[in-house]
Amino acid sequence: MKLKRSYGARELARMADPEGVSLGEELDEAIGKAEIAGGAWFIYGPSKNGKTSMAMILAKALAKHRKVAYDSVEEGINKSLRMAVERHGLVEAGHNFVLLNREFFEDLVYRLKHSRTVRVVFIDSVQFMDLKYSEYRRLRLEFPRTLFVFISHVKNNRGTSPDGSVATKIMRDSDVIFSVQGFKAFVTSRFGGNGEFVISEEMAAKFYMKYRPAAPQSISTP
């Protein structure tokens, strides 16, 4: 067995980017200055509460720094998703944003092995891809410089916990977690943000006038 290399503190300091990258003032307040050269982020919440909109806002911000692929496993390239892409101005990202039409795990791995330019991948959703935790680990280990953003349903479509043990494990391993309720995202971040992000002021106002949702789940981060 070959001994793996260890790293000194000075080497780690040279590798790290303490400033991170800016994703825009409002996202920076919620997330902090994020490290996007690898890792996992997680978006979850009930249906029709703003998960896709949150993902599109993030995709547009990230596309200013990296090439983004949005794997629409659940919806494919149906009309509602095309409308979301248009509504959130992803056309402005040009070649830095591509939409993948239902590429399941092996298809996605094949693409990432043969397309070295993609550095951010959205997977929508964990449940529809039927992702196994071993497959999640494989993505992280085989593509350590790719940021994966996972989108998940919640239990019974109204709870505050991700649907399924795999989604829960991925969430707990993620650097940034977006708990979406009523077109607001309650953010837990290892980059110092831990704030609230309003996805749509108009839709949030309508939602919170009609409902009083349960408080979002608190997630502790190391």
**Is residue 218's pLDDT more than 70?**
no
**pLDDT digits 0-9 by tens, 105-157:** 999 999 999 988 999 999 999 999 999 999 999 999 999 999 999 999 999 87
**pLDDT digits 0-9 by tens, 28-86:** 999 998 989 999 999 999 999 999 999 999 999 999 999 999 999 999 999 999 999 99
Looking at domain 30-195, its CATH architecture is 3-Layer(aba) Sandwich (3.40)
Phi and psi dihedrals of 138, rounded to 5? Answer: -65, -45
Domain boundaries, the chain: 30-195
Which helix (H) or strand (E) covers residue 207, if one does? helix 201-210
**Is residue 15's pLDDT more than 90?**
no
Q: Where are the alpha helices (DSSP H) in 45-191?
A: 51-62, 79-87, 105-114, 126-129, 133-142, 165-173
C-alpha to C-alpha distance for 49 and 65, rounded to whole angstroms: 27
Contact yes or no for 50/180 (Cβ under 8 A): yes
Contact yes or no for 183/199 (Cβ under 8 A): yes
Q: Which residue has the higher pLDDT, 209 or 177?
A: 177
Q: Which residue has the higher pLDDT, 19 or 88?
A: 88
Whether pTM > 0.85 for this model: the answer is yes
Closest CA to 155 of 130, 185, 127: 127
Q: Which residue has the higher pLDDT, 159 or 7?
A: 7
For the chain, what's the residue count? Answer: 222
Q: Indicate the DSSP class of residue 42.
A: E
Closest CA to 59 of 74, 77, 47, 41: 41
Six token digits for residue 87: 């509504």
**Is residue 16's pLDDT more than 70?**
no
**41 in helix, strand or coil?**
strand
Distance of CA 130 to the CA centre of its chain: 17
**29 in helix, strand or coil?**
helix
